[in-house]
Structure 1
Amino acid sequence: MVWFLRDLARLARERAAIEELLGRAAWLKGADWGLDGSRLRLDADIEAHGCVYGVRLTYPDAFPASPPTVTPRQDGQLWSTHQYGVGGELCLEWGPDTWVPEVTGAQMLVSAHTLLEAEDPQGSGSSGERAAVPSRHVRTRGQELRGSTFRFLATAALREHLASLPPGASGQLGAVVLLWQRGAITAVVTSVHPDGAEPWTDPGVPPRLANYGLEWSGLFVRSGLRAVSLGVGTVAELRAAADAALRDALDAALGLATPPQVLLLEDAEAGLHLFRLRADEPELTRYKTLNLEPDHPWERRGPEFEVLVEKRVGIVGVGSAGSKVALALGRSGVRRFVLVDDDLFLPENISRHTLDWRSVGEHKVDAIEDQLALLSPAIEVDRRRIRLTGQESTASVAGALDALSRCDLIFDATADPSTFNQLGMIAVQYQRPLVWLEIYAGGIGGMVARYRPGKEPAPLAMRAHYHVVTAEAGARMGVDVPRRGPEPYSADAEPGLPIVASDADVAVIADHAARLAIDVLAGREPSAFPFAMYLVGLARGWIFEQPFQTIPVDVGEAPHAVAPEAPPEAVQQGVAFLSRLLGGGDDGPAGPS
């Protein structure tokens, strides 16, 4: 039901406020109530500086939760610099960002009169000119750019580099990547080749970005012209405004067999202006410049994350959970990865994976590398398209395990017992931390756990304890342990039913595990997580009495390590054997001949 039928008291208040304003404000002429579809509206005339402005006050269906609007009564009228386009509403004292339900339509008319009186759009006042009226708010970058199809992202690094060049410097833009997006064409300069100087590449722009757009050539000139001189629309206007150096550079570029496609000019105030050049067309297409601030990621993440840049993380299994973990760690600062997975990405994986149709048919490790490469140019990925416990060559598995053994942390996202056994033994043998997870069927939750050498029991012992604890807890409550294990994919040799869980369910458990991994990598002491294992409930079921219930599992402390003692004879024979291998001479029997 529309507001004026539902709230007759508010309707009476609005009508009374208009009548009261008509009685005291000589600048308000007439008041014609009516309906515009289902919306209540009021047509009136506002006088300012001897000029009459026909306005329409329109109440929205959601009034008083949303403010009324004041627009020109006739189409095609643009009165004010504080107006949303031709025929659009006036930007008044009250808008969506300042609205309070107690404000009436009469007050909106008062605000409109105040604006027209102050700005004097017709220039009918004593000054004879339109006055500048400050805005009541600051527009966001998104609001400023939503009407601009052509956009230029000027990074802080690019601006700084151009400012370091001598005045009048010019040269080639090594590459300008154009990203074709919905409703926008966005340009990014990735490299600059100044004449007589070393080429420069923007350290913050991922090279892989070129795979997702067009690469154009370009010309840049530090023109030294004032910004107002560069508000041109044609090549002829630009030549007329340019100095001799800019004209010569422009004429030389346009005279080439393959002229540059874009022109980047720096004005005297260090502002950047990007234009689309076409040798056969006089018109210039101007790109709206958005100056990007320097990227200080640690201000968003926290200084303790800075250490992650030096860490290498091995992730085995980049399915629905592992892909999320990889991207979370990449966004958190990890710059070196070893990814191990033999599987392909198929359409049925889309419902829970970070990938989409653009990667269908591709190996997951390859597609995830692409995603990581777009986060930072500094990210390095070692991809292994193998299954550690599958029918692979011994050499390829040994190579992958060697790469994992040199990681600062190993992450098992397979939930496969055989793979876990293998990784658990590697973690103990090479004293590497291990983090793993499980997703429970039915979306009821999952488990996250960590092993830190010398602080927690060995992973295999932790898993055995986990099975005992969960079985006992389930027995006390008279429920079975939920199904868990590896997620079969249709590309695998052996078909099976996938674990039933939504993308949100997987994301919660994956992000919990990523936080556990970050805690280990950052070396927090004490750890933010007092327990090495947690059962995270997302729904009521099994041992979870309510959603979001978290159950810590005490796995005990790492047992005191005691090196096994070898018999003296075995020690003597071992030393002699190794001495021979190392070229230390014949200290014992040579063995079979």
Structure 2
Amino acid sequence: MEPWFIRYPKRYRREKSELRDAGFQAREALLAKEAGIIQLHVDFFHKGKPYSVVVEYPTFYPYMPFQMVSKDIPKGRHLGEYGGAVCFLEDVHQNWEPHYTLAHIIDTQVRGVIDRNLEPSDDPTKEGLYASPASGHIRYRDNCGILVPNFSIPEGHRYGHATLSHGPHVNLKKTPSGHISKVTGTSKQDVLYTVGDDLPNLAGVDPMQLKNQGVRWVRLDRPPAAADDGILDEAIRAWPELEKPNYRNGVDITAIIFQEESTYKCKQVAWVFVVREKQLGVTEPLYFNVRADILDPQIVIARTSRTKPLTGKKVVLIGCGALGSTIGFQLGRMNLNHLVLIDGDHLKYGNLPRWIAGASATGRDKVSVLRELITDANPMINVTTHPLKFGDINQREPEQEMLNDVFDADLIIDATAEFAASHLITLLAKEHAIPCIHVSATNGGFGGIVGRYMPEPEAFCWSCMQEALYQERPEFQDDDYRIRLPATEPGEPTEVRGCFHPTFIGTGFDLDAISMQAVRLAVATLCRGAEGAYPDLDWDIAVIDLWDEDKSIPIDPKMTTYRFAGAHRLCRKPHE
């Protein structure tokens, strides 16, 4: 692709002429231009003082913003901790507009940066009141990361030891990852922190398969002054013992801990890891930095604050097929306390277009695979699995254990796609005063139904819905309790190799639209009555069309919703 100044010669001339007209002295780096890069050194005066900036234009200028660094602009909130990057817009990727030029930015923004750095203000009309964490500007190796606890080491401890726990396939020389499971003081017997039961799935693997790596840590009084290998030099000055690498598995790992701004004018602990890799035949080891991420449930809740009432809730999902696997994964990523998965089937290769795992999972229990996916996405959730077909015969002992899990739930979700199982599940839910959500899809993925059934004796139930669906027949004309049927593809389900029963035709992405409505209804049900939470929906039954039956073409989702005041007049038994 041609450089931007070749593609847009008029814009290139405009940049230079505006700088000249503004009285700015601009020098172009010729070697950079020969390589297809425009780099300008610009000198200007502000309030009688000289300043200089270096600007490099991106390939896709003017649609993407240039980068600017300066050694002259006074230190402050709008100058990067390392390298002197100038923050000339509140959010450069959101606020940049293609008509901006360098001369315009210097005049309208950079002058303000100088003033604000010299005289900081808490006035949000003058500047964005956001944090600028130093750890975000350090240079790290790609594809690496270590989770650290949301824990402050007592001030009296300046250095010590820690344990990095990681999975069996982690290569510490190439892509270190894992979590800090233990922190001690100078003496390894002085335990300051150990990972607790609140993080049951932190490693994403069986705890028996975990490997541990020794780490040394040191505290700095301020963020590191360097952004690269020099970080370790500061650590060594704080604790000289670090100068000699303590190699294990070919690497030495040092954790550097310091206070930094996490939110505006609020400081919290930050971690950076430095890995020294032992090189054969080479005196000096290879250094690289590894980023840390704080393991704090509140960080997750802050991004999904309306789901805060889910904390402490228990949900049972029965059926982990095309609909249920998506429902389970989405709910599992939320801040639920406990999710129970029930399904007696194993994953087959033919399931993959409508499932969320890959070919390596074929042959395994669906509930086991789904549990791994969920706990990897959310290590703070408890997930119990029952690889059983709900209501099947000859499984009485494990079935009783499963039922014990079901009957103390806050919500039951039926995604079995089986009439008999749905009838039983919804009936048991009502008997045990547990709200229940039922979800099903039609042949071809043309449509589906999502329904909520509350446990009150006279509340509309699953059996009521079956009666209301039959109102489509001409002999029934009870307009108050009629539910239309969802769109369905004509024809019979298909039987494919590897399946013991016929299966419907349909795509995963069509079915996901139905699963997501079930997830929204589940979250709304669990949050009912909580202030500031995810609002309740104004319906209990939704009939969803994703295809036009007559034309056999996909359409924008069409949803007809219903809410009934009480039980259907023809449905008595569940209400007796």
Using structure 2 for the length normalisation, give the TM-score.
0.67
- 1:220 pairs with 2:216: yes
Could you tell me how far 1:70 is from its partner in structure 2? 8.9
Paired AA for residue 344 in structure 2: D
* Contiguous gaps of at least 5 residues in structure 2: 46-51, 74-82, 116-126, 261-268
Q: Which residue of 1 aligns with 2:567?
A: 558
Match of 1:163 among 154, 158, 179: 154
Q: Which residue among 518, 543, 547 is the counterpart of 1:513?
A: 518
Give the Cα separation in 1 of the matches to 2:38 and 2:431. Answer: 81
How far 1:240 moved relative to its partner?
6.6
2:468–2:483 contact (8 Å) kept in structure 1: no
User: Measured at CA, do residues 528 and 240 of structure 1 come closer, stay the same or move farther in structure 2, by a change above 3 Å?
Assistant: closer
Match of 2:459 among 442, 451, 456: 456
Question: 1:263-302 counterparts in 2 under 5 A?
Answer: 263-266=254-257, 272-277=271-276, 282-283=284-285, 285-290=287-292, 292=294, 294-296=296-298, 297-302=300-305
Q: Is the 2:24–2:44 contact (alpha carbons within 8 Å) kept by the matching residues of 1? A: no
In the alignment, does 2:97 pair up with 1:100? yes
Counterpart contact for 1:66–1:99, Cα < 8 Å: yes
Q: Distance in 2 between matches of 1:97 and 1:319?
A: 40
Compare relative contact order (CA 8 Å, sep 6+) and give the higher one, 1 or 2. Answer: 2
Tell me the SS of whatever aligns to 2:289.
strand
What's the CA shift for 1:447?
Answer: 0.9
Q: Structure 1 residue 426: deviation in Å?
A: 1.8
Shift of 1:411: 1.3
Q: Describe the shift of the 1:445–1:80 C-alpha distance in structure 2 as closer, same or farther (beyond 3 A).
A: farther
Counterpart amino acid of residue 323 in structure 1: S
Count of residue pairs brought into register by the alignment:
516
Q: Shift of the alpha carbon at 1:224?
A: 6.4
Are 2:186 and 1:189 equivalent residues in the alignment?
no
Query: Does the Cα contact within 8 Å between 2:344 and 2:386 map onto a contact in 1?
Result: yes
Equivalent residue letter for 1:499? I
Q: What is the match of residue 148 of structure 1?
A: 141
CA deviation after TM superposition for structure 1 residue 291, in Å? 5.7
> 1:140, 1:235 → 2: CA distance?
16
Are the aligned partners of 1:14 and 1:104 in contact in 2 as well (CA < 8 Å)?
no
Q: Distance in 2 between matches of 1:151 and 1:369?
A: 24
Higher helix share: 1
Deviates more, 1:190-199 or 1:480-489: 480-489
Cα distance change of structure 1 residues 180 and 470 upon mapping to structure 2, 3 Å threshold: farther
Q: Which moved more, 1:377-386 or 1:508-517?
A: 377-386
Letter in 2 for 1:429: E
Deviation string for 1:285-313 (max 9, x for gaps)? 3424446384324444346643x333332
Partner of 2:504: 498
What does residue 447 of structure 2 align with?
Answer: 445
**Helix, strand or coil for the counterpart of 2:507?**
coil
Which of 190, 203, 212 lines up with 1:209 in the alignment? 203
Q: 1:536 — aligned with what?
A: 544
The offset of 1:344, in angstroms, is: 1.6
Give the 3 Å change call, closer, same or farther, for CA 541–186 of structure 1 in structure 2. same
Mind listing any 5+ residue stretches in structure 1 that lack a counterpart?
72-77, 83-87, 119-133, 565-593
Letter in 1 for 2:527: A
Q: AA paired with 1:373? A: T
- Tell me which residue corresponds to 1:468: 471
- Any conservation in 1 of the 2:317–2:412 contact (CA below 8 Å)? yes
**2:79 aligns to what?**
none
1:205-230 CA distance string (max 9 Å, x none) = 55452539973421434556776599
1:549 matched to 2:555: no
Per the alignment, residue 80 of structure 2 pairs with none
Q: Judging changes above 3 Å, is the alpha-carbon distance between structure 1 residues 172 and 405 closer, same or farther for their aligned structure 2 residues? A: closer
Give yes or no for contact 2:199–2:379 (8 Å, CA) kept in 1. yes
Aligned residues: CA RMSD: 5.9
Distance across 2 between alignment mates of 1:385 and 1:518: 25
Aligned partner of 1:337: which letter? L
What is the DSSP-based 3-state SS (H/G/I as helix, E as strand, rest coil) of the residue aligned with 2:353?
coil
Q: Percent identity?
A: 16
Instruction: Tell me the alpha carbon deviations over residues 389-432 of structure 1, each in whole angstroms, 9 at most, x when there is no partner.
Output: 55644554455345423333221101111211221332233333
How many Å apart are 1:557 and its aligned residue? 0.6
SS at match of 1:549: strand
- Shift of residue 167, structure 1, vs aligned partner: 2.4
Q: Who wins on radius of gyration, i.e. which is larger? A: 1
Q: Distance in 2 between matches of 1:96 and 1:415?
A: 46
Q: Cα distance, 1:436 vs. partner?
A: 0.7
Amino acid at match of 1:457: F
Contact map agreement 1:17 1:106 (CA 8 A) in 2: yes
Distance of aligned partners of 1:275 and 1:100 in 2 relative to their CA distance in 1, 3 Å threshold: closer
Q: Secondary structure, in 3 states, of the residue corresponding to 1:189?
A: strand
